[in-house]
Amino acid sequence: MTESPSAASLSFRAKYEAAVARNDSLLCVGLDPDPKQIPPGVGVVDFLRGVIEATADLVCCYKPNAAFFEPAGAEGWEQLHEVIALIPSDIPVLLDAKRGDVGNTSQFYARAVFEGLGADAVTANPYLGSDGLEPFLAFEQRHTFVLCRTSNPGARELQDQRLADGRLLYEHVAALANDWNTRGNVGLVVGATYPEEAARIRAICPDMLFLMPGVGAQAGDLEAAVRASVDADGGGILVNASRSVLYAGSPEDSRAEATRLRRAMNLARRS
Give residues with Cβ within 8 angstroms of 221, minimum separation 6: 192, 193, 195
Which entry of 15, 36, 63, 98 is annotated as an active-site residue? Answer: 98
Active site residue 98: yes
Q: Are 79 and 107 in contact (CB under 8 A)?
A: no
Q: How far apart are CA 9 and CA 39, in angstroms?
A: 37
- Which active-site residues does the annotation give? 98
